């Protein structure tokens, strides 16, 4: 195993997406991740279509495949004493445990944070919930679209306030997983200093609210409630999606100098008064959009993008996912991983967002990114091997920690 987290053991009790995303990120960085599933398997094993059928008749969910690479799988029924004992032995050897049960569920199964810390005082526990682990609505189940609505994100997304829209990926889950992984790394660093583990908590609600960015302070400081307004930025103009002869392009004029270059590049003879400053352009966005789309109507998409690039205006097209994965820039960033799946054979997965490099005294870089990705496991693929490993005595005797 390679990567900066090589040597760490992560026990992943989570299912669906937020917890599995966090565990996968730790696995991408080299940690050994053992995914503990109920005998029925992670819920996402049945989420589809689409499913992929192997030659042997095995059916795999593409949803499960998206968030469970670099993991082993063991099935445990934690209501059975013998399986609970297996988990206890795993906890004794682990560095990190992840769970996203409803608050209180893990305690009812006999693994409250007090017992976990008795089993292993160095353990870092990540708990992810839907709406927080305390407060008047802590008991609510957490599903991404519900959290997107409750946390205000859907009110900011869509064509207008009458048509709230969820983000096209489960962004609340993904953000919670990313925040959780970040919190785990911070807790491991704290453990380096104190020798003790701790509990890290986050939620879908917290992760979406924390991502409000300028829309949050727009309300908390300026007293303005942000509303959905389609594909144009509420505070910058021109910044958004514009029609042209061959389709649409996106441009981002982040300052007055860029606006000046845009005007010069396309010989826009506009009256300065309505568009002199960014505030003016935001206030007159509709007329500015009309003006630019009249100009852009003379250009096919590729020609327009080339001209914008020559003028130094950030711009881009809107790609379908098939185009994204065929794009050479995507491939150059190692964002596609080829793995050999136990039942499906060779498959390609989206890769990690992180790359790591060592740099010598002369400035030469050597990439150290983990490249030996393991495929998402079939259910209980590693159960026997994990049990056999747990039966082996620890080097030097005593406890793992």
Among all residues, which ones are annotated catalytic? Answer: 173
> For residue 25, what are the CA distances in angstroms to 217, 299, 305, 400?
30, 42, 35, 24
Return the sign of the alpha-carbon dihedral for residues 72, 74, 79, 80.
negative
CA dist 45 and 38 (Å) reads 12
Q: In 10 A of CB 297, how many CB atoms?
A: 12
Backbone angles phi, psi at 27, to 5 degrees: -65, -40
CA dist 17 and 44 (Å) reads 8
For the record, the structure tokens of 354 come out as 């992180």
Task: Identify the helix (H) or strand (E) that includes residue 23.
Answer: helix 18-28
Classify 156 as helix, strand or coil. helix
Residue 45 DSSP code = G
Are 368 and 334 contacting, i.e. CB atoms less than 8 angstroms apart? no
Task: List all residues 6 or more positions away from 194 whose beta carbon is below 8 Å from its beta carbon.
Answer: none
CA dist 285 and 157 (Å) reads 18
CA dist 252 and 240 (Å) reads 7
Q: In 10 A of CB 394, how many CB atoms?
A: 10
Backbone angles phi, psi at 200, to 5 degrees: -110, 130
Residue with tokens 């711009």: 315
Are 3 and 29 contacting, i.e. CB atoms less than 8 angstroms apart? yes
Buried (b) or exposed (e) across 102-135, using 16+ Cβ within 10 A? Answer: ebeebeeeebebeebbebbebbbbbbbbbbbbee
Q: In 10 A of CB 353, how many CB atoms?
A: 10
């Amino acid at each position: 195993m390679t990567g900066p987290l090589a040597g760490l053991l992560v026990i992943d009790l989570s299912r669906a997406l937020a917890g599995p995303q966090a565990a996968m990120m730790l696995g991408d960085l080299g940690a050994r991740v053992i995914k503990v599933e109920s005998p029925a398997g992670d819920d996402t094993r049945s989420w589809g279509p689409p499913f992929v059928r192997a030659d042997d008749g095995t059916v795999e969910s593409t949803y499960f495949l998206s968030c469970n690479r670099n993991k082993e799988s063991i099935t445990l029924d934690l209501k059975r004493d013998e399986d609970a004992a297996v988990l206890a032995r795993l906890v004794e050897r682990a560095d990190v445990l992840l769970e996203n049960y409803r608050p209180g569920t893990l305690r009812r199964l006999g693994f409250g944070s007090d017992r976990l810390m008795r089993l292993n005082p160095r353990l870092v526990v990540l708990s992810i919930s839907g709406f927080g682990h305390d407060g008047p609505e802590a008991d609510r189940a957490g599903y991404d679209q519900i959290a997107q609505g409750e946390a205000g994100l859907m009110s900011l997304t869509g064509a207008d306030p009458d048509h709230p829209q969820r983000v096209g990926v489960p962004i609340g889950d993904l953000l919670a997983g990313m925040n959780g992984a970040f919190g785990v790394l911070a807790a491991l660093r704290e453990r380096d200093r104190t020798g003790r583990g701790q509990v890290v908590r986050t939620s879908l609600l917290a992760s979406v609210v924390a991502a409000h960015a300028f829309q949050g302070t727009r309300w908390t400081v300026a007293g303005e409630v942000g509303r959905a307004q389609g594909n144009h930025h509420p505070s910058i103009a021109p910044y958004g999606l514009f029609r042209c002869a061959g389709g649409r392009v996106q441009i981002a004029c982040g300052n007055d100098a860029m606006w000046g270059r845009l005007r010069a590049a396309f010989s826009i003879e506009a009256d300065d008064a309505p568009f002199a400053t960014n505030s003016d352009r935001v206030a007159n966005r509709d007329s500015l959009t009309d003006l630019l789309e009249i100009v852009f109507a003379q250009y096919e998409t590729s020609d327009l993008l080339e001209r914008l690039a020559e003028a130094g205006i950030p711009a881009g097209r809107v790609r379908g996912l098939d185009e994204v994965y065929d794009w050479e820039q995507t491939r150059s960033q190692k964002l596609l991983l080829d793995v050999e799946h136990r039942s499906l054979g060779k498959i390609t997965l989206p890769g990690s967002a992180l790359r790591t490099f060592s740099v010598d005294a002369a400035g030469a870089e050597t990439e150290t990114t983990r490249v030996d990705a393991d495929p998402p496991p079939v259910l209980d693929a590693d159960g026997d091997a994990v049990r056999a490993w747990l039966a082996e005595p620890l080097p030097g005797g005593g406890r793992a920690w």
